[in-house]
Amino acid sequence: MAVTPTPKLTPANFPSLDALQHLEAFAVALSGGADSTALLIACANRWPGRVHAVHVHHGLQAAADSFEAHCVALCDRLNVPLVVQRVNAAHAAGQSPEDAARQARYRALAEALQHNWGGQIHDIALAQHADDQVETLLLALSRGAGLPGLACMPAVAERHGVTYHRPWLNVPGQQLRDALLAVGEAWVEDPSNSDTRYTRNRIRAELLPVLEKAFPSFRQTFARSASHAAQAQTLLREVADLDLQFVGNPPRIQALQLLSEARQSNVLRHWLALAHTQASAAQLHALLVQIKACTTRGHHIDIKVGRGFVRRDGAVLRCYNP
């Protein structure tokens, strides 16, 4: 791959980064693809000396070494300190490869900040854009997700003690590639991105072009829907916090019965999340049926939920995880 000098980029070349201007030192998650390459170049030119980079080497394909080489060369040219984190992203039985890689990546990013640069950096910028957001929303819809899934990716989120920033969620991916091409900058293409055995890739290759033709503004309208879902989920979380204070933790069965079924469902999902488990729609429905029927001291409740069980213990429910 030919290496070209990196020109001085201006706001005219790339979308706004104003959402990051309040940060002091921060890192960019750099895969080597077009999106993260654009983000690193734009950030490094706007804030020289404040930007660092983390590259996660998944080791899942032969091309992974070339991704690392691109990142090393790019950071050398930009004078950006780079940390390469090597991970084992192999998936466990019953786990999707995409989910395994995503979880390994977030752990690796957090560890990179904890063990480098004096542990003084706590913010990472991610290059996910409008197309990624649309794909996430369509995947959530295809799985029958509730509001948390339909809310998609937030612009700012905390995970593993790190705050993640997504400044380009309203920017089409093609705009980033066009900006790179305009300044003669190269990037690497992940061969797995064209593998349509993965649902996300099929959405990108086959569905997004159709949506573009039928609804030219679909990225903006889908983003609004995701934003509405996120706002509604925030309200539900606030109601769940109040209801959990009312029913107690662990929840009292008689107190739960005083709530509407919708509020029972909402507070139970919140309680289970605090216990690090998640109920399917069918499991939660079965639990609600048992709560409604629990009118005698001898009524037994023992429902499989996520990886564990919810069982009656006298007047309350308890969650048991393996």
Mean pLDDT of 14-23: 94
> What are φ and ψ of residue 263, in 5° steps?
-75, -35
Predicted local distance difference test score (pLDDT) of residue 2: 39
Mean pLDDT of 99-120: 88
pLDDT digits (tens, 9 = 90+) for 48-77: 999 999 999 876 666 788 899 999 999 999
Helical segments of the chain, H only: 34-46, 64-78, 97-115, 130-142, 147-150, 173-182, 199-202, 208-214, 218-247, 253-257, 261-274, 281-293
Under 8 Å between Cβ of 128 and 35: yes
Mean pLDDT of 220-234: 93
Taking the alpha carbons of 300, 305, 308, 314 in that order, is the dihedral positive or negative?
A: negative
Predicted local distance difference test score (pLDDT) of residue 60: 62
Sort strands 316-320 and 308-313 into parallel, antiparallel or unpaired.
antiparallel
Mean pLDDT of 181-205: 86
Q: Around 167, how many Cα atoms within 13 Å sit in the side-chain half-sphere?
A: 23
| Interatomic CA distance for residues 297 and 318, integer angstroms | 16
Quick one: which H or E segment has residue 2? none
The CATH architecture annotation of domain 18-214 reads 3-Layer(aba) Sandwich (3.40)
Mean pLDDT of 256-277: 96
SS3 277: coil
pLDDT digits (tens, 9 = 90+) for 158-182: 988 899 999 999 999 999 999 999 9
Give the global pTM.
0.85
Q: Residue 54 corresponds to which tokens in the numbers above?
A: 């983390």
Query: DSSP class of residue 47?
Result: S
| Interatomic CA distance for residues 29 and 54, integer angstroms | 5
Under 8 Å between Cβ of 317 and 305: no
Please name the amino acid found at residue 35. Answer: D
Ranges in the chain annotated CATH 3.40.50.620: 18-214
Mean pLDDT across the chain: 90
Q: Is the pLDDT of residue 278 over 60?
A: yes
Predicted local distance difference test score (pLDDT) of residue 3: 41
Task: Give the residue from 82, 165, 83 showing the smallest Cα distance to 126.
Answer: 165
Q: Residue 192 corresponds to which tokens in the numbers above?
A: 């797995």
| Interatomic CA distance for residues 50 and 73, integer angstroms | 19
Predicted local distance difference test score (pLDDT) of residue 103: 82
Ranges in the chain annotated CATH 1.20.59: 248-320
What kind of fold does domain 248-320 have according to CATH? Chorismate Mutase Domain, subunit A (1.20.59)
